[in-house]
Chain A
Amino acid sequence: MLRFLVRRLLQAIPTLLILSILVFAWLRSLPGGPAAALLGDKATPEKIANLNHVLGLDQPVVIQYFKFLGRALTGDFGASLISTQPVMSEIGTFLPATIELGISAMIVAVVIGIPAGYLSARYRGGAVDNVIIVLTLIGVAVPVFFLGYMMQDVLAGPLGLPSQGRQTAGLDATSITNFAILDGIMTSEWDAVWDAIKHLILPAFALATIPLAVITRITRASVLEVLNEDFIRTANSKGLTQPVVRRRHVLRNGLLPVVTTIGLQTGALLGGAVLTERVFNFRGLGFLLAEGIERRDYPRLQALLLFGALVYVLVNMLVDVSYGIIDPRVRVR
Chain B
Amino acid sequence: MQQLRLTRTRRVALIGLAGALAVSLSACAESKRDEGAGGGSGGTMIFGAAGNPKLFDPIFNDEGETFRITRQIFDTLIQNKPGTADLEASLAEKWEPSNDGKTWTFSLKQGVKFSDGTPFDATAVCFNFNRWYNMKGAAAQSQMIYYADVFGGFAKNESDDYSDPVYKSCEAKDPATAVVNLNKAKGAFPAAFTLPSFAMQSPAALQQYKADEVTQSGDSFTYSEYANKHPVGTGPFKFDSWDQGKGEITLSKNDTSPTQTAKLDKLIFKVIPDENARKQALKAGDIQGYDYPAPADYGLLRNEGEQVLVRPPFNVLYLGINQSGPAGDKLKDPRVRKALAYGVNREQFVKSKLPEGAEVATEFVPKTISGYTDEVTKYPFDQQKAKQLLQEAGATNLTLKFYYPTEVTRPYMPNPADVFTSISEDLKAIGIKVEAVAKPWNGGYKDDVQKFGKQDLHLLGWTGDYNDAGNFVGTFFGRKKPEFGFDNPQLFQALAAADASPAGDAHAKAYQEVNKQIMDYLPAIPISYGPPAIVVGPKVKGLVASPLTDERFNTVTVN
A residues near B (Cβ < 8 Å) are 30-32, 34, 36-51, 53-55, 57, 68, 71, 76-87, 90, 93-94, 96-97, 152, 156, 162-172, 175, 178, 190-195, 198, 278-279, 281, 283, 291, 294-296, 298-299
Which residues does chain B contribute within 8 Å of A36, judged by CB atoms?
442, 446-447
Docked Cα-Cα span, A278 to B444, in Å, equals 25
Other A-B pairs, 5, CB within 8 Å; known A97-B245, A175-B245: A39-B145, A42-B145, A78-B220, A168-B286, A170-B270
Closest-CB distance, B288 to chain A (whole angstroms): 10
Please pick, from A38, A40, A50, A97, the residue contacting B220 in the complex, using a CB distance under 8 A: A38
- Tell whether, in the assembled complex, residue B446 and residue A43 are in contact, meaning their CB atoms are under 8 Å apart: yes
Which residues does chain B contribute within 8 Å of A86, judged by CB atoms?
217, 222
Docked Cα-Cα span, A204 to B36, in Å, equals 27
Q: Please judge, given known A-B contacts A31-B444, A164-B280, whether A81 and B29 are in contact too, CB under 8 Å.
A: no
- Tell whether, in the assembled complex, residue B218 and residue A79 are in contact, meaning their CB atoms are under 8 Å apart: yes
Closest-CB distance, A100 to chain B (whole angstroms): 11
The reply on B277 being an interface residue by CB < 8 A is yes
The reply on B8 being an interface residue by CB < 8 A is no
Chain A residue, CB-CB nearest to B451 = A45
Please pick, from A84, A175, A281, A283, the residue contacting B222 in the complex, using a CB distance under 8 A: A84
Q: Please judge, given known A-B contacts A32-B443, A194-B28, whether A152 and B280 are in contact too, CB under 8 Å.
A: yes
| 17 residue pairs from A and B, CB less than 8 Å apart | A31-B448, A40-B62, A50-B142, A54-B216, A80-B220, A84-B55, A165-B272, A166-B246, A167-B246, A169-B248, A169-B287, A171-B29, A172-B36, A178-B245, A190-B25, A190-B28, A281-B277
- Tell whether, in the assembled complex, residue A162 and residue B284 are in contact, meaning their CB atoms are under 8 Å apart: yes
Which residues does chain A contribute within 8 Å of B10, judged by CB atoms?
none
Contact indicator per residue, chain B 502-533, by CB within 8 Å of chain A (1) or not (0): 00000000000000000000000000000000
Please pick, from A39, A55, A83, A171, the residue contacting B219 in the complex, using a CB distance under 8 A: A55
The reply on B273 being an interface residue by CB < 8 A is yes
Docked Cα-Cα span, A94 to B52, in Å, equals 14
Docked Cα-Cα span, A164 to B248, in Å, equals 14
The reply on B74 being an interface residue by CB < 8 A is no
How big is the B interface, by class? Answer: 35 or more
Which residues does chain B contribute within 8 Å of A94, judged by CB atoms?
244-245
Q: Please judge, given known A-B contacts A47-B161, A162-B284, whether A283 and B245 are in contact too, CB under 8 Å.
A: yes
- Tell whether, in the assembled complex, residue A55 and residue B216 are in contact, meaning their CB atoms are under 8 Å apart: yes
Chain B residue, CB-CB nearest to A296 = B442
The reply on B159 being an interface residue by CB < 8 A is yes
Docked Cα-Cα span, A31 to B442, in Å, equals 7
Which residues does chain B contribute within 8 Å of A57, judged by CB atoms?
219
Chain A residue, CB-CB nearest to B248 = A169
Chain A residue, CB-CB nearest to B47 = A169
Docked Cα-Cα span, A163 to B450, in Å, equals 41
Docked Cα-Cα span, A278 to B161, in Å, equals 39
Chain B residue, CB-CB nearest to A35 = B219
Contact indicator per residue, chain B 14-49, by CB within 8 Å of chain A (1) or not (0): 000000001001101101110011000000101000
- Tell whether, in the assembled complex, residue A193 and residue B220 are in contact, meaning their CB atoms are under 8 Å apart: no
- Tell whether, in the assembled complex, residue B442 and residue A76 are in contact, meaning their CB atoms are under 8 Å apart: no
Please pick, from B159, B245, B273, B277, the residue contacting A291 in the complex, using a CB distance under 8 A: B273
